[in-house]
Structure 1
């Protein structure tokens, strides 16, 4: 996380310099009045000034360290809160589908429960970690896709291409919001020819994620809600100046691209 000089820090630094200047002035006055009268006075003043300087520097260091610690704790708390907002509406919708399947298709309902439990386990336990393997994130996304395929009573075209050269680690629950949006604002509203194409590549300490979906352009534009705001804020906190996130829409095709520098 970036360290920025806030107004509070500026005030502390200014106060420090004022104290040092005052001390220098006092030392100069005493030195001017006393020079030559006391043997070893110059050495005494030099030692005294060094001690004072070290004391004040130590105090200033502790103050800045305390501010940085407070800022980091606040950022971590905010990050945990943002993570807790991921996926609640998805689980709610899946449970509704599950309720309808229990009476009509018991076997399918059982499969849905197993996939849902795997996803919930990942969200709860892995989602609390600072980083997870990229391969684990890919498995999580595949589970999400599998659940949706089981839910729908229509044909959908989903392609997921993953090329990961090394065992890279990333912030958990990072790509799911973009995938959710592709299903929610695209496939959910299309009766036929619905598709989602996902690509994730990782090499040379970079991760590239792209997702494309079609949508019904006759429908009014929907507000993307807190999902994208959540994602943008988490990226700012964990990957400051080390990520790019862009969106584009042409006719009935929507694309989202995310690049990370690890």
Structure 2
């Protein structure tokens, strides 16, 4: 009750002043009508100024309250949209990995336990770290490594998969699950569409407050690629999380696709 009273104390005082100013104006207005004296007129003007000052205060407070509530609702809406965008990470990888895992289990492969362990780490990171607003860059890199390692096990054909890391400070914070969509696309629309000479080259570079993530892959130019929804979600997340502090570069040249994200973490 004490906290509530403190919160509304200014409003209670304003209402009391409003009532007092109204009574004072009425009282000295009546006195002026019966006996127009300068002192009554002065008091009437004082109460009149107080009356309009209180009304002004209440109006301004009401407007600021509306603005504050609007901002809170807007922030809640953005948070809800971000949670929804995170939940739209392509499940294609999980389904394919489970199918491959089934094949490894049938063949009694020594890699079965390794794939299970890596898949559990990926799912743990997606579920728990993905809920956070920020995570250390080291955690995001480890997550990508696990994903890439599984892809190397999945593809039996000759595939050139590289992940180059040039990071000076892996403790800086970044939004989780920003880079994975570009990597997923590289495998889904690149390697899976090719029968030979497929490659995915991934690199991450960090210096001071700038992080650059790049993915280059080749693809079969005949099938029509569909990357629109994932990229749309990525753009929205970048706009929400790094307004005016990011760039997203996408380029398709014949059979090569290039994607690059640059983030300013501060």
Query: Would you call these one fold, judging by a TM-score over 0.5?
Result: yes
Cα separation, partners in 2 of 1:250 and 1:225, compared to 1, 3 Å: closer
Deviation of residue 35 (structure 1)? 10
Q: Which residue of 2 aligns with 1:76?
A: 79
1:98 aligned residue (96, 101, 105): 101
Give distance in 2, aligned partners of 1:99 and 1:225.
31
CA contact (8 A) 2:214 2:259 kept: yes
Query: For 1:21-65, what per-residue CA distance to the aligned partner results, in whole angstroms no more than 9, with x for missing partners?
Result: xxxxxxxxx9xx999551334433333222221111111111111
- Local SS of the residue matching 1:39: helix
- Where do 1:146-161 residues align within 5 Å? 146-161=149-164
Cα separation, partners in 2 of 1:35 and 1:198, compared to 1, 3 Å: farther
Residue 213 of structure 2 corresponds to residue 209 of structure 1: yes
2:129 aligned residue (126, 131, 146): 126
Give distance in 1, aligned partners of 2:195 and 2:145.
22
CA contact (8 A) 2:152 2:161 kept: no
- Local SS of the residue matching 1:113: helix
Aligned length: 230
Give distance in 2, aligned partners of 1:103 and 1:65.
60
- Local SS of the residue matching 1:87: coil
Q: Which residue of 2 aligns with 1:112?
A: 115
Q: Which residue of 2 aligns with 1:142?
A: 145
* TM-score where L is the length of structure 1: 0.82
Residue 190 of structure 2 corresponds to residue 183 of structure 1: no
- Where do 1:238-257 residues align within 5 Å? 238-257=241-260
CA radius of gyration, larger in:
2
Query: For 1:117-152, what per-residue CA distance to the aligned partner results, in whole angstroms no more than 9, with x for missing partners?
Result: 010000001011111111111111111110011111
* TM-score where L is the length of structure 2: 0.81
